Amino acid sequence: MPPERTRPKAATIHDVAAAAGLSRGTVSRVINGEPYVSEEARAAVESAIRQVGYVPNTAARNLKTKRSRAVGLIVHEPHPLFLEDPNIGAILLGTNSVLSKADYQLVSLIIDSERDSDRVADYLGGGFVDGVIVISARAGDPIGRAVTAMGIPAAFVGHPPDLEGIAYVGIDNVHAAHAITERLLLTGRRRVGMIAAALDRDSGRDRLAGFRSALGERFDPELVVDSPLYSYRTGLEGMRELLKRAPDIDGVFAASDAIAAGALDALREAGRSVPADVGIVGFDDSAWALRCQPPLSTVRQPADLLGQMAAQRVLDQLDGKPSAPGGTMLDTEVIWRESA
């Protein structure tokens, strides 16, 4: 006896039509809420649907309509970062809320290997989604290129440095980094360094650029260390290195809160007190910022809004609205606490 694993074969529109004593066309009209259906017919179909337990087969519908009412969100993060990045969750939720209101299904796809990258590209090409949002794309990112090459409606969160003419939303990292560095300088620091990260992304590059421009003449490349990841470890090791290179350092801009948290611990282990000996500022205003000792001065970025706007950009394209390609920059805010 074969194991009983046959799912009760799903009812089709045909079964519903039979049960209701009407044609498939009429059933289809009811399902899609179209006009020109009599009240009786509608009622009969609706009861038949419940009776046979009908669920529309979306594959068939997609095949016919060429639309899926789904939007993909591609997250391309190296492992450790994915787990720590406080913004991703908020972006996701923001995106979902906008899409949900428009009755689109958000499907998140994570890329964690080259294999994933290829499979996701196929998935996108296969008509599973009508549009796509890409977050944290990096320079030379194959998925970013694939998306633009396919011509599928898309919006990027952040701006991959090597892609032209795309729709994206982001924050002005240069400006934000400049602002917080300037504020740090206001506390009277003389030797200010930076722990940079992710220089292959716009966010990383731009934060460094902002830092540099705020320092102007005083910028000293010796006082900048960098690493690929916005992580605690980056902060820990970066700060140790900075301390070695310049024992008299008295101010640090960490490219993220997680990095700042690591730097704080390195400072603690070196017996420096914050903010008395060294002032430190972060970036993100994540949950971490408040829980550090002392609480972090940092830059707040509106992650949920970023997600919402990216979703809206895709929706606009789907509706055929022009939605001028190019970027939308959202404002950030310096949050001043006690770490500097």
User: Which residues are near its own copies by CB under 8 A?
Assistant: 3, 5, 7-8, 10, 55-63, 68, 70, 79, 82-84, 86, 89-90, 92-93, 96-97, 100, 103, 105-110, 112-113, 115-116, 119-120, 122-123, 125-128, 150-152, 232, 261, 265, 287-288, 291, 293, 317, 320, 322
- C-alpha span between 286 and 192 (Å, rounded): 23
Residue among 26 and 136 whose Cβ is closer to DNA? 26
Residue among 55 and 110 whose Cβ is closer to DNA? 55
Cβ partners under 8 Å of residue 34, min gap 6: none
Name the residue among 73, 74, 118 with its Cα closest to residue 98: 73
Q: What does 12 interact with, of DNA, its own copies, none (CB < 5 to 8 A by kind)?
A: DNA
* Cβ atoms < 10 Å from Cβ of 218: 13
Residue among 136 and 181 whose Cβ is closer to its own copies? 136
Q: What does 312 interact with, of its own copies, DNA, none (CB < 5 to 8 A by kind)?
A: none
Q: What does 92 interact with, of its own copies, DNA, none (CB < 5 to 8 A by kind)?
A: its own copies
Q: What does 113 interact with, of DNA, its own copies, none (CB < 5 to 8 A by kind)?
A: its own copies
Residue among 127 and 294 whose Cβ is closer to DNA? 127
User: φ, ψ for residue 12 (rounded to 5)?
Assistant: -110, 175
Closest approach of its own copies to the CB of residue 143, in Å: 13
Closest approach of its own copies to the CB of residue 128, in Å: 6
Q: What does 84 interact with, of DNA, its own copies, none (CB < 5 to 8 A by kind)?
A: its own copies
Identify the residue whose tokens are 């892609």.
163
HSE-up of 222 (CA within 13 Å, CB side)? 10
Name the residue among 183, 209, 219, 213 with its Cα closest to residue 299: 183
* Cβ atoms < 10 Å from Cβ of 236: 20
Closest approach of its own copies to the CB of residue 106, in Å: 7
Closest approach of its own copies to the CB of residue 248, in Å: 26
Closest approach of its own copies to the CB of residue 37, in Å: 21
List the structure tokens of 93.
């939720």
- C-alpha span between 98 and 146 (Å, rounded): 25
Counting DSSP H helices and E strands in the chain, the numbers are: 14, 12
User: φ, ψ for residue 278 (rounded to 5)?
Assistant: -135, 135
Name the residue among 39, 14, 18 with its Cα closest to residue 28: 14
Q: What does 117 interact with, of its own copies, DNA, none (CB < 5 to 8 A by kind)?
A: none
Residue among 64 and 115 whose Cβ is closer to DNA? 64
- C-alpha span between 136 and 313 (Å, rounded): 17
Closest approach of its own copies to the CB of residue 74, in Å: 11
Closest approach of its own copies to the CB of residue 174, in Å: 27
**Three-state SS at 1:** coil
Residues contributing to the site for DNA (CB under 7 A): 9-10, 12-14, 21-26, 28-29, 31-32, 35-38, 40-41, 54, 56-57, 60-61, 63-65
Q: Write b or e for each residue in 280-308: b if 16 or more Cβ atoms lie within 10 A of its Cβ, otherwise e.
A: bbbbbbbebbeebeeebbbbbbbbbbbbb
